[in-house]
Chain A
């Protein structure tokens, strides 16, 4: 604590004098008109006891006087530390990737420097050493007053590339101010041009280097793949003392952390690594590794298809016959896998010559030794071998089978058989197929049989209803051998004709490990790039295409920032560590004094608040004096105080919660806190969007419980389906009543039509609701429906997910203005609409992109308009017909 003008404090010595003066001076008398004054003239009281100012009033006045003296003396907290030089102050900030981790502290330190410059009345020039995103070199700002410099400082953000110290040195050298001083906030990392930069700093004036106390700069390196595990690697500037352990989170594209690795770094450690062990199918969902802690581009590693590419090889015994439509061995396999995997076909040797994730052999025995050796190598190193049975395999079982087969096959349900084709049993919980629903129409008429062994039960991934294994698997080395006991065509069973076949194959492919693609010389355009805090965004203006082969040799710069490069379905990640030299400590600047951030913290002046408090006390004193003299009546004073505090008085009034006064959206309380929170923030986000873009004015959304709350006030009810207990009959009745009186319920199963995967039990719940609620016959929502054009013209209706069908009432119900009382979808709209307190979207949309979010909001606007205006825009649907009629 220090003072601007300390000598003013000596006035505090006058306070006792003031006390004495106030004490001996009687207060001014009350004034009182009095007709019988003549009788009073000349009267004197018997004893003249001096009337004194009351003690509390005296204390009040002394306090006010003391506050005035203190306030005028200008107390300042946190002032300490001196700035170099006496003329213009040059503030140099490294805003490279390494500065992002302690950016808040760095900005506070820079503000502290500006505070002191403002006290000293010095002008400030600001220089940020990283090149700007448009590719221009760092520029030194002109010397300007501190107020302008603060705005300039606030505009500086960390950039995801190293500083351009040579250009910064040139900018420093081009300008000279007499008596200048330099305050420098370095990022602590060595750069090629450090020597010249240090010389330029020293030439500009005396240098003060400000250093933070946080952990040394850390850089997450691209992970290595070692067998089943992903090895996270971290580089750190060696520090003499112990540093806090680094926590690395493996995250999916929508920000869920799937695994966590902790790297403990000892003294002087230059880095460390830690394996993240994840099942391949989980690992393939990873999109990035993130260093927990302050956000920084150095703490983010993007993972691309190199870590999860899964080429699938197909081979059949009879290459020609396998191509035949409907009956070929590979026909159904190809059609099942083409949308999801990269397919390769050819003979076995050619296929295995290139990296492969999954090899599928349809009734093709592995004949010779050479083939067996290469297949064995493939499986041992992590490949998945999938085999389909058939006449050939039944005759010639080989070593690459999970189970021993009984020679020959069995047939059921043929013309000469008493038995019937067998159905599938539900999948065992340990099977990768667990959770897939088993359609009743899948039957197996013929299959190869496994020799019963003790281990057979644990190898079964799928079985028939009589317990005979249908799919068996065995781990072999790092890989798997999987056998379908039926053919890959419809000869032995109709499994390949069912949708289950596709799901089973996808599960198997997902099980496999990814294969890195070779980096080639074709230039790739930047698609999405990281900013200084490691957040993906559009590439900066200066970004240029770069060949993937040159990633490792090109240092990050505005032209080649870290991020995703390449076309949309084949993104290649360029990480910050690609092309960065090893981290090294920057050399100390000769002749510079070094201070900690804390030495030059923010200052705070207490003078104005003290003076304001003194003013308030004096005003109070004035009021009290007037009351004591009888000029003001106490009730007037109370009235004046009440008038002076209207906002506070209003704040205490109970908020009117009459739902009839404002239009607002509502959501059904599910009992699941997380879901309710998403619903609330989603509807709040949608309400804000609607208020901003349309003439509708919606108040904050409310949670309602059907049956206990009156629903008639709400035009639209959002209802996310959970697996919680079924609604009571009272609730169902309330909802039916709501729908029959013109309300609209948006039912959201939040599972992207993926059934049990995203929202287990949701489908069953929806079925139960469908039985109880009075839901009219439904039809898919098309672009011709009014809902697709109430405000925006929409073709898709995405939420957080895209593509799921949205269902609305099929028939036009005249009694309800043809407005569908229920809209059922699976796109998890609330999550797409949700915003957090900062206005950000906490839930990523899938597959993603601003466009999908925008469309989600537009669907929301259309929905609100549909609920508010009904079929008002219905005419638009009929415009073609009307025009045609007019033409006639």
Chain B
């Protein structure tokens, strides 16, 4: 009990600034672009319709059915299209920043995610975290719950399992996308098959972009990949940049193939531009 209280206090101490930053970033974007405020309003319930043969018995709304002699089925048809599934990479490699960047990649990813969620919620849409055990949330008050869920999300898997994505969902994936391209391609293929569409945002540290080291350096991986001793880092810089470009290009290809948008964000840049790109891509 005590431990839980302490955690809650620590969380409370940390959340407001994050939320505040997210709201601030979101406000800069929302002000000029988003003209239609209440699209899809009243979607939480669509309609009851009489039970028809072939409907799954699980979809019968028993409470409604008990009021009369007929059997009703609860319809939630438009949900998929109006719900945005968000995900950010929580792997250890995201919890890193070089001396060139002010914040960790994970922090920037969470900020962008929450800012985007704030924008969407303000627009009356529903957001949900992929792989998180919380229900769909809507309304501006849901932002706090979302932040708390982010905080409680376990570190780990580099890519979401993406089992419970409904059809036609909007999906936003924020990660450094430094994992093997095949994994990303497989995931996106699953999304495309639903079908679901969305946006990929690659967050990179400036040091990952430029490899600004010199001399003999022993590089250590953050996820147990082992280590690599480079005798002269300046000698491999060009080759590294080529590999990184190839990786990014591959991810972009995958995204295009799956009908997803793709953007790259560097943590030494302000988050507003990335958020604008994300939001434009989603609202297009």
Query: Contact residues of A with B, CB < 8 Å?
Result: 26-27, 29-41, 43-49, 51
Tally the A-B contacts, defined by beta carbons under 8 Å.
Answer: 99
What is the CA–CA distance of A40 and B226 in the complex, to the nearest angstrom?
A: 11
Nearest neighbor of B229 in chain A, beta-carbon distance: A29
Q: Which of B201-245 contact A (CB under 8 A)?
A: 205, 207-208, 213, 215-222, 225-236, 239-240, 243-244
Nearest neighbor of A45 in chain B, beta-carbon distance: B235
> Closest approach, in angstroms, between the C-beta of A43 and any C-beta of chain B?
4
Contact A33 B222, beta carbon cutoff 8 Å:
yes
Contacts of A38 in B (CB 8 A): 178-180, 221, 225
What is the CA–CA distance of A39 and B241 in the complex, to the nearest angstrom?
A: 9
What is the CA–CA distance of A41 and B227 in the complex, to the nearest angstrom?
A: 8
What is the CA–CA distance of A36 and B178 in the complex, to the nearest angstrom?
A: 6
5 contacts between A and B (CB under 8 A): A29-B215, A32-B219, A33-B221, A38-B179, A47-B232
Contacts of B243 in A (CB 8 A): 39, 43
Q: Which of A29, A32, A40 has the most CB of B within 10 A?
A: A40
Contacts of B136 in A (CB 8 A): none
Contact B240 A43, beta carbon cutoff 8 Å:
yes
4 nearest CB pairs, A to B? A45-B235, A35-B93, A37-B221, A29-B216
Contact B236 A35, beta carbon cutoff 8 Å:
no
What is the CA–CA distance of A39 and B228 in the complex, to the nearest angstrom?
A: 10
Contact A46 B213, beta carbon cutoff 8 Å:
no
Contact B218 A31, beta carbon cutoff 8 Å:
yes
Which single member of A31, A39, A48 contacts B232 (CB below 8 Å)? A48
| B176 contacts partner chain A, Cβ-Cβ < 8 Å | yes
Contacts A29-B229, A45-B236, A48-B232 given; does A39 touch B244 at CB 8 Å: yes
Q: Which of B180, B218, B220, B234 has the most CB of A within 10 A?
A: B218
Contacts A36-B208, A37-B225, A39-B243 given; does A47 touch B235 at CB 8 Å: yes
Contacts of A29 in B (CB 8 A): 215-218, 229
What is the CA–CA distance of A30 and B219 in the complex, to the nearest angstrom?
A: 8
Which single member of A32, A35, A43, A47 contacts B239 (CB below 8 Å)? A43
> Closest approach, in angstroms, between the C-beta of A633 and any C-beta of chain B?
10
What is the CA–CA distance of A47 and B234 in the complex, to the nearest angstrom?
A: 11
What is the CA–CA distance of A39 and B239 in the complex, to the nearest angstrom?
A: 9
Contacts of A33 in B (CB 8 A): 96, 219-222
Contacts of A48 in B (CB 8 A): 231-232
Contact B220 A31, beta carbon cutoff 8 Å:
yes
What is the CA–CA distance of A693 and B106 in the complex, to the nearest angstrom?
A: 70
| B137 contacts partner chain A, Cβ-Cβ < 8 Å | no
> Closest approach, in angstroms, between the C-beta of A500 and any C-beta of chain B?
96
Contacts A37-B227, A37-B228, A45-B230 given; does A32 touch B217 at CB 8 Å: yes
Contacts of B94 in A (CB 8 A): 35
Nearest neighbor of B236 in chain A, beta-carbon distance: A43
Contacts of A41 in B (CB 8 A): 225-226, 228
What is the CA–CA distance of A40 and B218 in the complex, to the nearest angstrom?
A: 11
What is the CA–CA distance of A503 and B83 in the complex, to the nearest angstrom?
A: 125
Nearest neighbor of A629 in chain B, beta-carbon distance: B218
> Closest approach, in angstroms, between the C-beta of A36 and any C-beta of chain B?
5
What is the CA–CA distance of A46 and B226 in the complex, to the nearest angstrom?
A: 23
Contact A26 B216, beta carbon cutoff 8 Å:
yes
Query: Contact residues of B with A, CB < 8 Å?
Result: 93-94, 96, 105, 176, 178-180, 205, 207-208, 213, 215-222, 225-236, 239-240, 243-244, 247
Contacts A27-B216, A30-B216, A43-B239 given; does A36 touch B231 at CB 8 Å: no
> Closest approach, in angstroms, between the C-beta of A148 and any C-beta of chain B?
59
Contact A40 B176, beta carbon cutoff 8 Å:
no
Contacts A29-B229, A48-B231, A51-B231 given; does A37 touch B236 at CB 8 Å: no
Q: Which of A34, A39, A51 has the most CB of B within 10 A?
A: A34
Chain B's interface: helix, strand, loop or mixed, by majority?
A: mixed
Q: Which of A33, A35, A49 has the most CB of B within 10 A?
A: A35
> Closest approach, in angstroms, between the C-beta of A29 and any C-beta of chain B?
4
Supply 11 further A-B pairs (C-beta < 8 A) apart from A38-B221, A45-B236.
A26-B231, A32-B218, A34-B207, A34-B221, A35-B178, A36-B176, A37-B227, A38-B180, A39-B240, A40-B240, A45-B233
What is the CA–CA distance of A31 and B222 in the complex, to the nearest angstrom?
A: 13
Contact A37 B219, beta carbon cutoff 8 Å:
yes
Contacts of A31 in B (CB 8 A): 217-218, 220
What is the CA–CA distance of A34 and B222 in the complex, to the nearest angstrom?
A: 7
> Closest approach, in angstroms, between the C-beta of B79 and any C-beta of chain A?
36
What is the CA–CA distance of A37 and B233 in the complex, to the nearest angstrom?
A: 13
Contact A39 B178, beta carbon cutoff 8 Å:
yes
What is the CA–CA distance of A122 and B105 in the complex, to the nearest angstrom?
A: 74
What is the CA–CA distance of A39 and B237 in the complex, to the nearest angstrom?
A: 11
Contacts A33-B222, A37-B221, A51-B216 given; does A45 touch B231 at CB 8 Å: yes
Contacts of B221 in A (CB 8 A): 33-35, 37-38
Contacts of A39 in B (CB 8 A): 178, 240, 243-244, 247
Which single member of B96, B207, B217, B227 contacts A30 (CB below 8 Å)? B217
Contact B215 A30, beta carbon cutoff 8 Å:
yes
Nearest neighbor of B97 in chain A, beta-carbon distance: A35
Contacts of A44 in B (CB 8 A): 235-236
> Closest approach, in angstroms, between the C-beta of A300 and any C-beta of chain B?
77
Contact A40 B236, beta carbon cutoff 8 Å:
yes
What is the CA–CA distance of A47 and B232 in the complex, to the nearest angstrom?
A: 9
Nearest neighbor of A31 in chain B, beta-carbon distance: B218
> Closest approach, in angstroms, between the C-beta of B225 and any C-beta of chain A?
5
What is the CA–CA distance of A31 and B240 in the complex, to the nearest angstrom?
A: 18
What is the CA–CA distance of A31 and B228 in the complex, to the nearest angstrom?
A: 10
What is the CA–CA distance of A834 and B205 in the complex, to the nearest angstrom?
A: 74
Nearest neighbor of B223 in chain A, beta-carbon distance: A35
Contacts of A45 in B (CB 8 A): 230-236
> Closest approach, in angstroms, between the C-beta of B248 and any C-beta of chain A?
11
What is the CA–CA distance of A140 and B11 in the complex, to the nearest angstrom?
A: 84
Q: Which of A26, A41, A43, A47 has the most CB of B within 10 A?
A: A43
Nearest neighbor of A630 in chain B, beta-carbon distance: B217
Contacts of B229 in A (CB 8 A): 29
Contact B216 A32, beta carbon cutoff 8 Å:
no
Contact A35 B96, beta carbon cutoff 8 Å:
yes
Contact A34 B232, beta carbon cutoff 8 Å:
no
> Closest approach, in angstroms, between the C-beta of A498 and any C-beta of chain B?
99
Contacts A35-B222, A39-B243, A39-B247 given; does A51 touch B217 at CB 8 Å: no
What is the CA–CA distance of A603 and B227 in the complex, to the nearest angstrom?
A: 57
What is the CA–CA distance of A329 and B84 in the complex, to the nearest angstrom?
A: 140
Nearest neighbor of B214 in chain A, beta-carbon distance: A30
Contacts A29-B229, A49-B232 given; does A37 touch B220 at CB 8 Å: yes
What is the CA–CA distance of A553 and B232 in the complex, to the nearest angstrom?
A: 98
> Closest approach, in angstroms, between the C-beta of A35 and any C-beta of chain B?
4
> Closest approach, in angstroms, between the C-beta of B224 and any C-beta of chain A?
10
What is the CA–CA distance of A29 and B221 in the complex, to the nearest angstrom?
A: 15
Nearest neighbor of B176 in chain A, beta-carbon distance: A35
What is the CA–CA distance of A27 and B180 in the complex, to the nearest angstrom?
A: 33
Contacts of A51 in B (CB 8 A): 215-216, 231-232
Contacts A33-B96, A35-B178 given; does A40 touch B228 at CB 8 Å: yes
Nearest neighbor of A34 in chain B, beta-carbon distance: B219
Nearest neighbor of A30 in chain B, beta-carbon distance: B217
Contacts of B216 in A (CB 8 A): 26-27, 29-30, 51
Contacts of A36 in B (CB 8 A): 176, 178, 208, 240, 244
> Closest approach, in angstroms, between the C-beta of B193 and any C-beta of chain A?
27
What is the CA–CA distance of A35 and B229 in the complex, to the nearest angstrom?
A: 14
What is the CA–CA distance of A37 and B240 in the complex, to the nearest angstrom?
A: 10
Nearest neighbor of B246 in chain A, beta-carbon distance: A39
Contacts of A49 in B (CB 8 A): 231-232
What is the CA–CA distance of A27 and B229 in the complex, to the nearest angstrom?
A: 12
Contacts of B227 in A (CB 8 A): 37
Contacts A39-B244, A41-B228, A43-B230 given; does A30 touch B235 at CB 8 Å: no
Contact A40 B219, beta carbon cutoff 8 Å:
yes
Nearest neighbor of B222 in chain A, beta-carbon distance: A35
Which single member of A26, A32, A46, A47 contacts B220 (CB below 8 Å)? A32
What is the CA–CA distance of A37 and B220 in the complex, to the nearest angstrom?
A: 7
Contacts of A27 in B (CB 8 A): 216
